[in-house]
Amino acid sequence: MHAYDVTVTTSAPPAVVWKLLVDAASWPLWSKVDSLDTTRSVGLDPGGDDGVGAVRAFRTGRTVTGERLTEKVEQRLLAYEDAFISTMRNYRARIELTPTASGGTVIHWHGTYETSWLLRWIMPRYLQKFMQGMAEGLARYAEEGKPAS
């Protein structure tokens, strides 16, 4: 079993960060994913508040990954698992938001997964860096409305 674990702090309040997390359509604005694949997504909320059970399909390059929301605690926790991810098995992730004393948010994004024998040497380093970029992009966009460079 492999894992990644990233923590980023933003000056944006939890409500702003939360709104971006639960709206799959916003992810291409702040993350490293290229687009939301609505043809492979299931149960998306038209108002941008995806609920438990929704499958959000994201395209990055030629790869489309699907993630099923499994737990949702308003402005505190969003958890998901793989619905279809070709490079990983038994993928589970949690995004935990903790308010700071100054009104900002600590974003703790962590997950566990299994991968093929061939990818076991590459995937952990790659995914740690990729997810760090995801968290940093979320933090920056929540603060400024701009994606991370």
Q: Tens digit of pLDDT for each residue in 46-60?
A: 999 999 999 999 998
Measured between alpha carbons, how far is 101 from 121 in angstroms, rounded to an integer? 40
The full set of domain ranges for the chain reads 2-144
Q: Tens digit of pLDDT for each residue in 66-75?
A: 999 999 999 9
Q: At what angle do helices 123-144 and 14-22 cross, to 10 degrees?
A: 120
In CATH, the number for domain 2-144 is: 3.30.530.20
Q: What is the pTM of this model?
A: 0.91
Q: Tens digit of pLDDT for each residue in 108-148?
A: 999 999 887 777 777 788 889 999 999 999 999 999 865 55
Closest CA to 146 of 57, 136, 56: 136
Question: Pairing mode, if any, of strands 77-84 and 63-73?
Answer: antiparallel
Give the other-Cβ count within 10 Å of 109's Cβ: 21
Beta strands (DSSP E) in the chain are 2-10, 35-36, 55-60, 63-73, 77-84, 88-99, 105-115
